């Protein structure tokens, strides 16, 4: 009888060990998965933010180039090519703007929308470089705070 009780206690202990090991393994895998998702999400956000800023820079570059060509009447073919490049840059900018709106925090999205407003004035008037730099620097600051850099 004692041998049977010892055997049952041993089997119960083994079964409990198996269940606890499986539970700890499952919990550990879930923690690793969450961490990997967080890292991937941050990576996606950083890529979206960098692409957005590169798009703004590209739009400003083409706008300045187009403004310089407006005064030269003989620059028709070059101006047409710059307009085509500007339209392509607007498309890329829009893609990254949507990524920022989807992935960004409310503070990042607010600054991105402010930058978009500045970009929209490009066709109407020459944008202020100082205004752009101030908004860009605020965007950098908000993004760095969000992804815990610096």
Among the ranges 70-84, 107-121, 127-141, which has the highest mean pLDDT value? 107-121
- pLDDT band with cut points at 50, 70 and 90 for residue 125: low
Domains in the chain, number:
1
Q: What pLDDT shows up at residue 56? A: 84
The mean pLDDT value for 11-23 works out to: 89
- 72 belongs to a structural domain: yes
pTM as predicted: 0.61
- 54 belongs to a structural domain: yes
Q: What pLDDT shows up at residue 130? A: 67
Cβ 119 vs Cβ 96: under 8 Å: no
Phi, then psi, of 56 in degrees rounded to 5: -65, -45
For CA atoms 99, 101, 107, 111, give the dihedral sign.
positive
Residues spanned by the domain of 63: 41-146
- 18 belongs to a structural domain: no
- 124 belongs to a structural domain: yes
The CA distance from 68 to 70, in Å, is 6
pLDDT beyond 60 at 12: yes
pLDDT beyond 80 at 105: yes
Q: What pLDDT shows up at residue 122? A: 62
Q: What pLDDT shows up at residue 136? A: 77
Which has more pLDDT, 38 or 55? 55
Rounding to the nearest 10 degrees, give the CA dihedral for residues 59, 62, 68, 70: -90
Which has more pLDDT, 48 or 141? 48
pLDDT beyond 60 at 123: no
Cβ 94 vs Cβ 115: under 8 Å: no
Side-chain-side CA neighbours of 61 within 13 Å: the count stands at 10
Listed in sequence order, the DSSP H helices in 71-146 are 76-103, 106-120, 129-146
pLDDT beyond 70 at 127: no
- 117 belongs to a structural domain: yes
pLDDT beyond 80 at 149: no
- 9 belongs to a structural domain: no
Nearest partner of 49 among 119, 117, 97, judged by Cα: 97
């Amino acid at each position: 009888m004692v041998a049977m009780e010892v055997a049952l206690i041993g089997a119960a202990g083994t079964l409990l060990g198996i269940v606890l090991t499986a539970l700890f393994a499952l919990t550990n895998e879930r923690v690793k998965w969450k961490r990997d998702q967080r890292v991937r999400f941050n990576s996606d956000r950083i890529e979206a933010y960098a692409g957005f800023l590169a798009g703004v820079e590209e739009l400003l570059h083409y706008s300045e180039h187009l403004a310089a060509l407006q005064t030269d009447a003989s620059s028709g073919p070059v101006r047409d090519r710059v307009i085509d490049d500007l339209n392509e840059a607007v498309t890329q900018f829009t893609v990254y703007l949507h990524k920022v709106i989807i992935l960004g925090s409310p503070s990042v999205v607010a600054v991105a929308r402010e930058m978009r407003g500045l970009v929209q004035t490009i066709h109407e008037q020459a944008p202020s470089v100082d205004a752009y730099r101030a908004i860009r620097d605020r965007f950098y600051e908000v993004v760095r705070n969000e992804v815990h850099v610096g």
